[in-house]
Amino acid sequence: MNKPAMPNSFRTGPDEQGMFGIFGGRFVAETLMPLILDLEDQWNKAKTDPEFKAELQNLSTHYAGRPSKLYFAEGLTKHLRDVSSAKGLGGGAKVYFKREDLNHTGSHKINNCLGQILLAKRMGKKRIIAETGAGQHGVASATVAARFGYPCVVYMGATDVARQSPNVFRMKLLGAEVRPVTAGHGTLKDAMNEALRDWVTNVEDTYYLIGTAAGPHPYPELVRDFQSVIGTEARAQILEQEGRLPDVIIAAVGGGSNAIGLFHPFLDDKDVRIIGIEAGGRGLDGVEHCASMNAGKPGVLHGNRTYLLQNADGQILDGHSISAGLDYPGVGPEHSWLRDSGRVEYVPILDDEALEAFQLTTRVEGIIPALESAHAIAHAVKIVPKMDKDQIVIVNLSGRGDKDVHTVANMLGMEI
Ligand SMILES: *Cc1c(COP(=O)(O)O)cnc(C)c1O
């Protein structure tokens, strides 16, 4: 059988139906269809409107703190060169961090929230709803809702509400209402279902602010476009600082928004190797991981077709990761397509490997990375010693790790 021809560009998707090859689409209730079409129409107008772009640019600069720095991680580079020498390899590429941890609210999530709140304003919506797992997207949504004076309801699984109390309190301080969801296992998947249900019943006045590059079309595309500022900046910064493109770029994949944001501007640079990191949890043999692309199957969830963690009967599994932000049983549809087309490699990293990279980065760089980002760093730790000294790796430091110190203490058997 002939393989389908490779596209000339990996940056043209999705098509008018919201498909990336066989992935994506908009599998939603009939009542939502007019809203989804309206959102798509408004987004198409907004993205070419100079006024919209100027307002987003202004907030990105003065409120969120962009552009984020591209930092030469000299301490980690030196450490990995020592490792390389000890193994008799004599190599070790230069490692750079794209510092999304320095953004307001401590991660890349603000990029998407600022874009979408401006879209909600443009559409004349009166109320914001959002879903959250660990609470990071809930906090970022509550932040922009506070800034723009919108009432905000955040759906959060009851199990997550119990284990993420500092973020629940932050959302309340910011004026949001947190609604615990008891359906299912009370986690992110259930919160997302409940948010979609709210949207169906309050179609006129409500804007649904989705937190990752997933959900029905046009969300995967518009979230990607708002997050692509990461890759656009990184590409210009590395050309400025090194005079050439990187050899490898790496990012952690939960739903996939920080990763597609870094990757998208590099997709047509054929010599740049692109690696997405999934949560390997306690290993891919059992069910305690979140590696939907390495151990899942295509199916439909939250309005789109994509790789999902499922059992033999097609039931969606909850998954597990040390890092709450990677704990989503699916992945954005564009990643599924990039996986199958072979343009991007997706590799699992175990809890223990991420924990080690977290500690190493903290010690040799004086930067406490988010556990999600530590997954990406852990992969760099594996491959950089085998690379040449004149090669360059960019790791997306998607967020800061202050939120994770309790989890880490727990894993290390320490009390704070
Ligand atoms: C939420 C989060 C992620 C995972 O979400 P994506 O949509 O895959 O980017 C990764 N890193 C941090 C710091 C996060 O807060």
CATH of the domain at 135: 3.40.50.1100
What is the C-alpha to C-alpha distance for residues 108 and 100, in angstroms, rounded to an integer? 5
Mean of pLDDT values over 378-402: 98
In a domain, 55, yes or no: no
237 and 386: one domain?
yes
Task: Give the global pTM.
Answer: 0.97
Mean of pLDDT values over 90-116: 98
256 and 379: one domain?
yes
Q: Which residues face 94 on adjacent strands?
A: 392
Select from 372, 401, 343 the least CA-distant residue to 278.
372
132 and 166: one domain?
yes
233 and 357: one domain?
yes
Give every CB contact of residue 134 below 8 A, 6+ residues apart in sequence. Answer: 160, 164, 167, 324, 325, 327, 403
Q: C-alpha angle with apex 60: 58 to 65, nearest 5 degrees?
A: 115
Distance separating the N- and C-terminal Cα atoms of the chain: 59
From the CB of residue 204, how many other CB atoms can be counted at a distance below 10 Å?
9
Instruction: Tell me, in angstroms, the distance from the centre of ligand 1 to residue 372's CA.
Output: 6
Give the pLDDT score at 324.
82
Model confidence band, residue 331 (pLDDT cutoffs 50, 70, 90): very high
What is the C-alpha to C-alpha distance for residues 336 and 27, in angstroms, rounded to an integer? 17
Average pLDDT, the chain: 95
Residue pair 308/296 in contact by the 8 Å Cβ criterion: yes
Q: What is the pLDDT of residues 207-235, one digit of tens each?
A: 999 999 999 999 999 999 999 999 999 99
Pick the more confident residue, 370 or 2.
Answer: 370
In a domain, 128, yes or no: yes
Beta-strand relationship, 19-20 and 94-99: unpaired
What is the C-alpha to C-alpha distance for residues 121 and 205, in angstroms, rounded to an integer? 11
In three-state secondary structure terms, 91 is: coil
Q: Closest ligand 1 atom to the C-alpha of 259?
A: 9
Instruction: Tell me, in angstroms, the distance from the centre of ligand 1 to residue 108's CA.
Output: 7
398 catalytic? Reply is: yes
In a domain, 378, yes or no: yes
* Length of the chain (residues): 416
101 and 158: one domain?
no
133 and 241: one domain?
no
In a domain, 262, yes or no: yes
Instruction: Tell me, in angstroms, the distance from the centre of ligand 1 to residue 254's CA.
Output: 6
131 and 94: one domain?
no
In a domain, 88, yes or no: yes
* Domain region containing 245: 65-106+227-411
Give the pLDDT score at 3.
59
Q: What is the pLDDT of residues 282-297, one digit of tens each?
A: 999 989 999 999 999 9
Query: How buried is 297 (Cβ within 10 angstroms: 0-12 exposed, 13-18 middle, 19+ buried)?
Result: exposed
107 lines ligand 1 (CB under 6 A): yes
Ligand 1, pocket-test mutation among 105, 132, 257, most atoms within 8 A of CB: 257
Residue pair 215/303 in contact by the 8 Å Cβ criterion: yes
The percentage of residues in the chain with a pLDDT greater than 70, rounded to a whole number, is 99
Residue 317 tokens, joined: 């599994």
Q: Which of the following is catalytic: 141, 323, 336, 398?
A: 398
Q: What is the pLDDT of residues 108-123, one digit of tens each?
A: 999 999 999 999 999 9
Question: Which of 181, 215, 249 corresponds to the end of one domain?
Answer: 215
Residue 392 tokens, joined: 């360059």
In three-state secondary structure terms, 49 is: coil
From the CB of residue 298, how many other CB atoms can be counted at a distance below 10 Å?
15
Q: What is the pLDDT of residues 146-180, one digit of tens each?
A: 999 999 999 999 988 987 889 999 999 999 999 99
Instruction: Tell me, in angstroms, the distance from the centre of ligand 1 to residue 390's CA.
Output: 30
255 lines ligand 1 (CB under 6 A): yes
Q: Where are the beta strands (DSSP E) in 166-230?
A: 177-181, 206-208
Residue 336 tokens, joined: 């599924």
256 lines ligand 1 (CB under 6 A): yes
Q: Which of the following is catalytic: 94, 98, 109, 125?
A: 109
Beta-strand relationship, 392-397 and 94-99: parallel
Mean of pLDDT values over 366-394: 98
In a domain, 192, yes or no: yes
165 and 234: one domain?
no
What is the C-alpha to C-alpha distance for residues 136 and 375, in angstroms, rounded to an integer? 17
327 lines ligand 1 (CB under 6 A): no
Q: What is the pLDDT of residues 9-66, one digit of tens each?
A: 999 999 999 999 999 999 999 999 999 999 999 999 999 999 999 999 999 999 999 9
Model confidence band, residue 4 (pLDDT cutoffs 50, 70, 90): low
Instruction: Tell me, in angstroms, the distance from the centre of ligand 1 to residue 87's CA.
Output: 34
Select from 355, 342, 326 the least CA-distant residue to 413.
355
257 and 400: one domain?
yes
Give the pLDDT score at 2.
55
Distance of CA 85 to the CA centre of its chain: 34
Model confidence band, residue 187 (pLDDT cutoffs 50, 70, 90): confident
Give the pLDDT score at 217.
98
257 lines ligand 1 (CB under 6 A): yes
Residue 74 tokens, joined: 């000299």
Give every CB contact of residue 82 below 8 A, 6+ residues apart in sequence. Answer: 92
In a domain, 41, yes or no: no
Q: Closest ligand 1 atom to the C-alpha of 212?
A: 7
In a domain, 239, yes or no: yes
Question: Which of 154, 182, 215 corresponds to the end of one domain?
Answer: 215
Distance of CA 30 to the CA centre of its chain: 29
Per the structure, the count of domains in the chain is: 2
Residue pair 39/359 in contact by the 8 Å Cβ criterion: no
91 and 127: one domain?
no
Amino acid in the structure at residue 144 = V
Max Cα distance, the chain (Å): 65
301 and 316: one domain?
yes
What is the C-alpha to C-alpha distance for residues 83 and 17, in angstroms, rounded to an integer? 49
Question: Which of 156, 182, 215 corresponds to the end of one domain?
Answer: 215
Q: Closest ligand 1 atom to the C-alpha of 253?
A: 8
Q: Which residues face 251 on adjacent strands?
A: 276
Give the pLDDT score at 7.
81
What does the DSSP 8-state code read for residue 38?
H
356 and 290: one domain?
yes
Q: With 70 as the cut, is the pLDDT of residue 304 above it? A: yes
